[in-house]
Structures are given as structure tokens and as C-alpha cells.
Amino acid sequence: MSTNFNVTADAVLDGIVASDPGVPGVVGMVTDRHRNIYQGAAGKRRLDQAADMTTDSVFAIFSTTKAITGTAILQLVEQGELDLDAPAKTYAPDIGKLQVIEGFDAKGEPRLRPPKRDVTTRMLMVHTAGFGYDFFSQTYNRLAQEKGQPSVITSSKASLMTPLLFDPGDKWEYGTNLDWCGQIVEAITGKRLGEVFKARIFEPLGMNNTAFELTEAMRGKLAGMHARGADGSLTPMDFELPANPEVHMGGHGLYATVGDYMRFIRMWLNDGAGENGRVLRPETVRMAAQNHLGDKKVTALPGVIPSLSNDAEFFPGQSKSWALTFMINDEQAPTGRPAGALGWAGLANLFYWIDRANGFGGFWATQILPFGDPASFVGYLNFETAFYDSLKLRKAS
């Protein structure tokens, strides 16, 4: 499988860089429970510079940060320091100040009321607390445009102090929930989120190139951001998340190499064990990897701000649930990913999957806005499909 898949995977990466429209550069990796079985890179880190994309390139990983924050939450649950079903305001009092928005009055002022129930950490972990994003919510976008609500990209506490879009627990809505989980981790531990991650997750896993703030060494290998134009063209952008951020944003704030993230994926494949120590107990991993959304389902993401996101959905027409804290595809995906596998994505068109049943995981990283970029998404789906095709061939032989 390895040789055949390597050839096919290299062709997928090279092909998506050469396509029109294509991507400027991409890194793809696949791991089993022990090591990376494929590592590839193609294209340029930034189109207006000479440096090639390499497997040790550094990416802004956006929402793939969320699963790491969720892991820190699960560690606190194991230690008896956090009750997932207690009011989240027990740990982060500011979340108790937020009200539900029911629209706007004739003067354009938000109509607010108290929520019918408290937000819990479990709701935050499964995205049912009532929070959204301005690039997926017309209401939040209006608050930003008319009321100056800061973007989460500012990494500010003010960006989290948004009204709830509905009563906590009522439905699934993707948003700033894991940023609030980061606030809970900080409140319980008394440390900044980056310190907690380093001691409790990164060091046990050997993740030496992952951080909320770029070191000079990381900046030297940073993949540049690009904007996709309406004509399909790509324009390099001078984009970095704020240095010395007010808030370490648990929902999107990390930089990392793909190789580091593969170590995190292997921990989930290995029931919580890392290269340098245990991160989670086996029973915690098994519990977390199940559906915690109940009968509710993950819905499509409507692109409200075109420069940041297109309309996007994984595996349209198929049922998707939510774990602590990953999407679960409830049916076998068209790529061959089996039902019950875990996965998610990051805003700049980064995608990953974790197939615990078969013991494999993969990650595909680009740096393109808006999210749901057709070329990036097609390339990723072809990459994952090529892997599962090779897996079927191996099993058949």
C-alpha cells in the first residue's frame, strides 16, 4: 500500500498545484498508529516568494485548534476539576452575562432577553451553546457592521462577548464555543492556555513547533496566506494573527506544522498515549469519540462574508454528528472514510480525519481564503479517496 499510495498522493498534490485554478502550495500527511506513512509537499509557501512548500512549513491552523482545546477540557474532567454539565459561568463568570438576541428593533438596536437555561461546558464542546461566527451568521455580521462587535481574529475578550443566537442546548451552531472553553481552562488552571497546552499536551506528544505566538524559527518557515479572487486568481496576503494576543483563542489561535498535528492525531488513534507520555485515559478517548449531540445534527455553514467563507458542508446529504470535539460522519463518506470517523477543518482550507477503527489519520494544509475553496476541497477529497482506495487494495490482497 505504501509505495502505491505515495505515488498517487504525490500526483494529487502536484496536480492540485498545477491546476487552474489550483493552490499555491500544499502539505499532505497520513499516519498510522505508529508513524507517518506518507509525507508530501508541493508548490510554494507564498506565490510572490521563491521558497518551496516543505513538509516542515508552518501554518495558521485556525479551527483545527479546537480539538486541542477540547483535549485540555477533557484532562480537567479526568482530574475532577471540571463538571461538563455544571453552568459554565461557574468557571468563566462572564459567560453568565450574555443574553439571547431575538433580532433588532425599529431603531436597529438588538432585542435581548435572558436565556432559558445556563450554558454548560458540554454545550460549548458540541456547539449547542448559542454562539456563532460573523462569517457564518447574518446576525453577528450585522452586530459587527452596525455595532462594532470585534472579529474573533482580534484575539480580544471583547470579541467573545457576543449575544447568544438561541437558547443554550436548542440546536447546533458553529461558533466561538471553544474559545470559551479556553477561558474555562485558564480559569481552572490559573495559567494562560498556551502554557497549559505546552505542559499537558505538546510536551507529552513531542509537538515542538506548535504555539499561539510565532517564534522567529517558525516565522522563517511560515506558509503565506492567499486570497482567491472571483476569477480564480490567487493574491498573497500579509496575514498574521495578533502578536502577544490578549486572549489565547482556543477556537482558532494556533500555528503548527502538519507533522506536529499528526502527533496529536496519533494520540487519538492510540487511546490517549503520546510519544513522551499519556495525554488522556483510554476510557476518556473512547467516551469522547462518540456522538454527544444526540438527535441533533451538524448543518451546512452559510458563507455570510464572501472574503472569509463560501457556503460549505462536508459530505452534503449525509448525516453528521459531533463528538468531544470533532465532527462524526454517521455514514460512510464518498471518500471511503468509514462511519464513525472523526474530523474537521480550519478556515484557510485545512482538513483532517481520524479513523480510529482502522488506525489511520490524515491532514491536508493550504493557506487560502475564503473557506470552502473549491480547488482546495477537491484536492483534499482526492487525497483522502486515494488513501482509502489504497487501503481497499491492501485488504483485498
**Residues assigned a catalytic role:** 63, 66, 174
**Residue with the three cell numbers 470579541:** 159
